[in-house]
Structure 1
Amino acid sequence: MAVMRAARLDVRTRTLEVTEVARPVPGRGQVLVRVKAAGVCLSDVHLIDGTLTPRHLRGDVVTLGHEVAGVVEELGPDVAGAAVGDRVTLQAGQTDRSGRVLTRGVDYDGGWAEYALADEATLVPIPDNLPFDQASIIPDAVSTPWAAVTSTAAVAPAEAVAVWGVGGLGVHAVMLLRLIGAAPVIAADPDPVARDRALAHGADAALDSTADGFLERIGELTGGRGLAAAFDFAGVPVVREQALRVLSPGGRLVLVGLTDKPLEIRDGTRFSYLGQRVLGHYGSEPEHVVQLVDLVGAGRLDLSASISGTCPLEEAPAAVERLERRTGSPVRLVLRP
């Protein structure tokens, strides 16, 4: 029996262990991908600390990793659109026959391993000039903010926007908002390293959201109009309270950061009179990943600065700890099995 190394989470004890497991064999319509890079996401941290729990996992142990890129190694029966040697990134999830949305590395085994199984429909070809580490983070780290910006918020050119929380997803939101022509693009974060990074990635201004006069400064930057779209990537109640206070008439508050805390709209009459909206957002659709791969391939989007470090699979627990503690304020750490 062929074996491989994989970083497996026991959801009963929330313990992560790099161990030896059987190498999977592709079934009908599946391919086996030799993993070249796999991103470490805050969602992985939350799975380990118990904040998140898989809803559709069969069993109690799962290989983590929903951001995956690699090379097609083996084809299962009835695979027609892929070939051995293809360079691919993988969609972060898929829909099963019953219509349930399943997430890779959560509801079924992911890419923190030497090899990963993938349905043919989840393969996204990547060009030769796109490095595997950058390709791996496009599903989720880049596609989630891209979908939030272009689909959920439907931001138009010259609209004033702000991003609260410019970490692994928020900094990409800043880049993408600038790409589509939003103006001004304001970043808000208490971390000075994150603020400097936001400026380097295209923010017109980067503000400390805990500073006195923070909301007044947003008013000045928007010429008193307020924000057409405010994005919460922090998942913190105070962020949502701040954003609601500086929305323009017709403004949208988009909730991307996850939290179980309630959202309070204190002046419902004003909110309704101004036609403002609160929009929930989660993940992305397959076309968003394809669009981003095309944009990178066309030279419109550079993700090279998004890779804060790489490490071997054996160091997965250390990478999780580094991300959890925000050591060095990383955007994305990448495992190389």
Structure 2
Amino acid sequence: MERMRAARLHLPSRTLAVEEVVRPVPGPGEVLVKVEAAGVCLSDVHLLDGTLSPLHLEGDTVTLGHEVAGTVAEPGPDVTGWSPGARVVLQAGEQRRGRTHTRGVDYDGGWAEYALATASTLVALPDTLPFEQAAIIPDAVSTPWAAVTATGDVRAAEAVGVWGAGGLGAHAVQLLRAVGAHPVVAVDPAPAARRRALEFGADLALDPADPLFREKVLGATGGVGLRAAFDFAGVPPVHEQALTALAPKGRLVLVGLSDQPLTVARGTLFSYLQHRILGHYGSEGHHVPELVRLAEGGRLDFSRSISDVLPLEDAAEAVRRMETKEGDPVRIVLRP
């Protein structure tokens, strides 16, 4: 049996190690993909620190990595339409028995030399899109894209706020600009994150602690407030502040994950203004192909999103840098 290197998380001890494991063999309906690039996400950090646990994993060890791009190495015995060498990006998960299973969480992911994938989760990748940029489309880009276009249903010329300008939030800014939102107001306590938001296309970047915060939002929106607000931080103070900045009938979309209670301080005012709070998670199958087409057509640019590329052996270092925000990374990519 052929073997390969993989970064494996042992869940009982929450330890990560690069190990030699058996290289998987594709069965019916499956494709073996040679991994060329795999993104490192805050979800990976949370799997290591114990704040996130798999729901459907069989066993106690998993290869991390849900943002994966590479080339087809070997199609399964009944797979048609995919030939060895084809460039692909993988969906971050799939439906199994009516439940969403996430790659690199509920089953082995792409922090490895090879990854096994159901053929239906492969998306063709044009030669013009580098593997490093393509790898982060599932989740880092597709999650905010789905939040903006589906859950948030943002329309052109709507005023929108983005709380948290990290990996997902920074992409949300770029995507909001692409769909014609105006103005786009980014909110983050970190000066570096605010500068990044402006580089990604925000019209205004504010510190949430600014004593004139609400006045500045109203000034940027003609005194009306935000039609939509997106929380990518996942902390209660964001919910509270975002609701104060919403226009009548505005909606707050919760993208950042949190186990903290969700409260509305002024229930009567919330009802009077007809505000809405919407939960959001991940993306659907059509969102990744949409983003690939937009990037291929020059409508989106992910070159600024890749903060560093590290070898697979440095997976633990990549996680540490994402957790501590050393160097203010948007996305770090592993190359097996």
Q: Same fold (TM over 0.5)?
A: yes
- CA shift, 1:268, in A, is 1.4
TM-score by length of 1: 0.99
| Preserved contact between residue 81 and residue 120 of structure 1 (Cα < 8 Å) | no
- CA shift, 1:212, in A, is 1.6
- CA shift, 1:274, in A, is 1.7
Structure 2 CA distance for aligned equivalents of residues 130 and 260 of structure 1:
37
Q: Superposition RMSD on alpha carbons, in Å?
A: 0.6
What pairs with 1:188-337 in structure 2 (closer than 5 Å)?
188-337=187-336
| Preserved contact between residue 186 and residue 206 of structure 1 (Cα < 8 Å) | yes
Residue aligning to 2:139: 140
Structure 2 CA distance for aligned equivalents of residues 249 and 210 of structure 1:
23
Structure 2 CA distance for aligned equivalents of residues 156 and 64 of structure 1:
36
Structure 1 CA distance for aligned equivalents of residues 312 and 304 of structure 2:
21
Residue aligning to 1:46: 46
Structure 1 CA distance for aligned equivalents of residues 321 and 214 of structure 2:
32
Residue aligning to 2:29: 29
- CA shift, 1:118, in A, is 0.3
Note the residue ranges of structure 2 that are not aligned, 5 or more in a row. none
- CA shift, 1:316, in A, is 0.2
Amino acid at match of 1:80: T
- CA shift, 1:261, in A, is 0.5
Amino acid at match of 2:261: P
Amino acid at match of 2:18: V
TM-score by length of 2: 0.99
Q: Which moved more, 1:218-227 or 1:157-166?
A: 218-227
Structure 2 CA distance for aligned equivalents of residues 153 and 114 of structure 1:
37
Residue aligning to 2:94: 94
Structure 2 CA distance for aligned equivalents of residues 52 and 133 of structure 1:
25
SS at match of 1:169: helix
| Preserved contact between residue 10 and residue 61 of structure 1 (Cα < 8 Å) | yes
Q: Which moved more, 1:272-281 or 1:60-69?
A: 272-281
Structure 1 CA distance for aligned equivalents of residues 55 and 311 of structure 2:
29
SS at match of 2:167: coil
Residue aligning to 1:169: 168
Are 1:19 and 2:22 counterparts? no
What pairs with 1:71-150 in structure 2 (closer than 5 Å)?
71-96=71-96, 98-150=97-149
Are 1:70 and 2:70 counterparts? yes
| Preserved contact between residue 165 and residue 234 of structure 1 (Cα < 8 Å) | yes
- CA shift, 1:81, in A, is 2.1
Amino acid at match of 1:68: V
Q: Which moved more, 1:261-270 or 1:149-158?
A: 261-270
Structure 2 CA distance for aligned equivalents of residues 204 and 50 of structure 1:
37
SS at match of 1:174: helix
Structure 2 CA distance for aligned equivalents of residues 169 and 81 of structure 1:
32
- CA shift, 1:211, in A, is 2.0
Deviation sequence 1:226-253 (CA, Å, 0-9, x none):
1100000000110110001111111000
Amino acid at match of 1:128: D
Amino acid at match of 2:12: R
Note the residue ranges of structure 1 that are not aligned, 5 or more in a row. none
SS at match of 1:145: helix
Q: Identity across aligned pairs (percent)?
A: 66
Residue aligning to 2:4: 4
- Count of aligned pairs between the two proteins: 336
